[in-house]
Amino acid sequence: MANNNWNTALYESKHGFVWKYGEGLIELLAPQPGEYILDLGCGTGQLTAKIAATGAKVTGIDRSEEMIVKAKENYPQLNFAVADATNFTIEQPLDAVFSNAVVHWIKQPEAVINCIQQTLKPGGRFVAEFGGKGNVRQIVQALTETLANSGYDLSPQVNPWYFPSIGEYTSLLEKHGLEVTYAHLFDRPTPLESGDAGLANWLKMFAGNFLSGLSTEKEKRIIDRVITKLKLSLYCDGIWKVDYRRIKVVAIKL
Ligand code: BEZ
């Protein structure tokens, strides 16, 4: 994942939708008892536990030490380890790599795909969901405009997200020896807690890179302006609906 220092309490208390939406992806994975499966970017372990409940032998990895500490606390009976998705190895060849809401945090997609390809058995599957082209477009626009209008210099690294098109991502999978059997780009308007706190918490949890280096006071000013802007388009009848666009993909190692 990106360089965020994850606030696991805020993640679990206010953003549980991240793994709740991921439950459908487990159906696409269709884990079988005894299969060796990796949960890549497991966060605090909720989906790892759901996969384990099917009888599969699952390991969860995440780049964030904070997330792995919490995952081990939540599910002490399961295997978790700190590892970087761009540079990991697994001894046991895998039947599947599963990944929910992680790929979009990593701006070196080929390094990730290469590691996945190397860990899968021939015939093994990669099943993932992540932000696709146009994901949270209005939030990105509001943040960049507000920061620029407030006099901040925006380098391209400030935006931590990689939101590819289906064409771009599936071409990378094919280039690295994975055959794409399913790919779907779809809108998934995502409700947040109501009131200003809903979007403020989302921005603090996920958009910290845009705000890093700002004093608490300046951060609050930027967040307030972004909320005012986005209320016009993303807030309706007391409910935030964030403009998520997802890609779901299944690819098989040849
Ligand atoms: C996503 O899951 O699509 C996402 C989450 C946080 C920031 C950006 C995108």
List the domains of the chain with CATH numbers: 8-135+161-192+244-253 (3.40.50.150)
| pTM, to two decimals | 0.95
Whether ligand 1 lies within 6 angstroms of the CB of 43 is answered as: no
Q: Best of 7, 130, 140, 161 to mutate for ligand 1, by most ligand atoms within 8 A of CB?
A: 161
Round to whole Å and give the CA distance between 191 and 89: 37
- Residue 4's pLDDT band, with cuts at 50, 70 and 90, is low
Whether ligand 1 lies within 6 angstroms of the CB of 136 is answered as: yes
CA 167 from chain center: how many Å?
A: 19
Residue 121 Cα, ligand 1 centroid: separation in angstroms? 30
Q: Best of 10, 135, 202, 245 to mutate for ligand 1, by most ligand atoms within 8 A of CB?
A: 135
Q: Mind listing the pLDDT tens digit for each residue in 140-194?
A: 999 999 999 999 878 888 999 999 999 999 999 999 999 999 999 999 999 999 9
User: Does residue 13 surpass a pLDDT of 90?
Assistant: no
